[in-house]
Structure 1
Amino acid sequence: MHIQDLLKQTDKLPNVPDVVRELIQLLNDPNAKYSDIAARVSHDQTISLKILRMVNSAYFGLARKISSIDEATVLLGMDKLKTLVIASGFSSSVNKVDGINLPEFWVDSFRVAELSEWFAKRSDLVKPDEAFTVGIVHNIGRLLLHLTAPDTAREIQTLVANRKASRVKAELDLLGFTSQDAGKALMDLWHFPKVLGCAVQEHKRPFAQGEPNPMACVLNLAGYLNACIRTERDLDLVREGFPMAVCKAAGLSEGIIYELDDALVVNDGLSYLLH
């Protein structure tokens, strides 16, 4: 099987709104007019309604009801609006996927995004908004695989569940590539910034290509902490297993290990977008 065999099935690819793709393409553009993007968001009824519903939720606890995207932008700032638009657009991109519990999948992705942003804010090498975005899409290749090759995806899941292979090994054995490779290929198809696709492709094995990509390292750390949260790992064990080499390559100080208790309680309020 080749990655292009998956990408050719255009009718099965996630349907990411144009405004979300444009926003991601503009992440590296210092001349981007985000006011234009806010106007575009206002015209996308599905996304704007979801964002306004969330902004008016108990999570934000605002004193008055917000009725427009322009108001939301003023109150939250463009950075927060960007994260909400990207999270909303991706979580609405598919309605049903064989073999994947979508609410769990997106809650997991949202938490990795928040953790990636948390680490990026403490590094001079990675931009927080890019780290957040790459966290949202870090597992998009797995979603693609289940949409376009469900039988093979189930076979991989069975091998992993029965502990006969790691996910990476199972994918390489059955596909000849990993879901991270597929994720990068899909992001390239969407013309997303190369740095995002490379981070997705490399984050499971950040040292495999030689010089590590700092954003891939941030994503790797976020994935590690997310796994610790899912398994309710004790803080001492979290610190003991924390990959310090990856931490250094991400541009983080060794002292970050004493802040991990804060990261473990990062609130993924984005789950409101799934309601």
Structure 2
Amino acid sequence: MKVQDLLNQTDKLPNVPDVVRELIQLFNDPNANYSDIASRVVYDQTISLKVLRMVNSAYFGLSRKISSIDEAVVLLGMEKLKTLVIASGFANSVSKVDGLKLNDFWMDSFRVAELAQWFAKRTPLVSEDEAFTAGIVHNIGRLLLHLAQPSLAIEIQTLVANRKMGRVKAERDLLGFTSQEAGKALMDLWKFPPQLGLAVQEHKHPFGDGSDEPQALACVLNLACYINACIAHERDSDLVREGFPGAVGKAAGLPESIIYELDDALIIEGAFDQLLG
């Protein structure tokens, strides 16, 4: 099987709204007019309602109720609104997937996104917005696999759950490629910025074969996934620091002292869960 076999099933691809794709494609345009995009958000009722619900949640702690996207832009700024729109757009891109609990999948993706953003704030090499989006889409290849080849996806999941095989080996043996490679192919199909697709493909092993300089965004994503796994397994903070991949942190542009800030990362909760459902 080839990755293209998944992409050819156009009816199975996640249905990400145009306004979300436009926001992501505008990452590389310093002259982008985000106010035009904001005006388009208004016409997507599903996203607008979910974003406004999130804006009015305790997470933002605003002093009064916000009733329009225009007000949200004024009070939150375009960057925060962009984050909410992207999160909402992806969370509602599919309604049902065989073998995958969607709420758990997106809650996990949101937390990785927030952790990636947390690390990005501490390095000059990665933008916060890009890190957040990379976190949301880091596992999109697995979602694609479950949509296009549910039987194979469930077989791989069973092998991994029973500890018969690691996920990367199981995917290569049964598919001939990894879900990270499938994710990059989907990013390319959607014409997202190339660095996003590269980060999705390389984040599991950012140093690759050691021949190339690791991509900083892939490194940040790798660290976010590491901390997310530590949270999921309730790992003691001393063990988290002990196991922290320092070489990856250095390649991400983070200071060595970052290990003393990890306690703050370990208490990050999924603030975007309200966008689900």
Alpha-carbon separation, structure 2, partners of 1:89 and 1:150: 23
Deviation per residue, 1:233-256 (Å, 9 max, x gap): 000010011000101111111100
Q: CA deviation at 1:60?
A: 2.2
- Counterparts of 1:1-275 in structure 2, within 5 Å, are 1-209=1-209, 210-275=212-277
Deviation per residue, 1:27-80 (Å, 9 max, x gap): 111000000010010111110011011111232232211111010011111111
**Residue type of the partner of 1:246?**
V
Which range is displaced more, 56-65 or 123-132? 56-65
Q: CA deviation at 1:267?
A: 3.1
Compute the TM-score of the two structures, normalised by the length of structure 2.
0.98
Alpha-carbon separation, structure 2, partners of 1:24 and 1:218: 18
- Structure 2: gaps spanning 5 or more residues: none
**Residue type of the partner of 2:100?**
I
Alpha-carbon separation, structure 2, partners of 1:214 and 1:240: 22
Compute the TM-score of the two structures, normalised by the length of structure 1.
0.98
Which range is displaced more, 262-271 or 94-103? 262-271
**Residue type of the partner of 2:51?**
I
Alpha-carbon separation, structure 2, partners of 1:66 and 1:128: 25
SS, match of residue 63 in structure 2: coil
Which range is displaced more, 58-67 or 198-207? 58-67
Alpha-carbon separation, structure 1, partners of 2:205 and 2:61: 40
Alpha-carbon separation, structure 2, partners of 1:5 and 1:28: 29
Q: CA deviation at 1:124?
A: 1.1
**Residue type of the partner of 1:164?**
K
**Residue type of the partner of 1:212?**
P
- Structure 1: gaps spanning 5 or more residues: none
Q: CA deviation at 1:196?
A: 0.3
Which range is displaced more, 50-59 or 79-88? 50-59
SS, match of residue 89 in structure 2: helix
Deviation per residue, 1:246-269 (Å, 9 max, x gap): 011111111000000011112321
Q: Percent identity?
A: 76
Which range is displaced more, 218-227 or 158-167? 158-167
Deviation per residue, 1:97-119 (Å, 9 max, x gap): 00110000000000000000110
**Residue type of the partner of 2:208?**
A
Which range is displaced more, 16-25 or 55-64? 55-64
**Residue type of the partner of 2:270?**
D
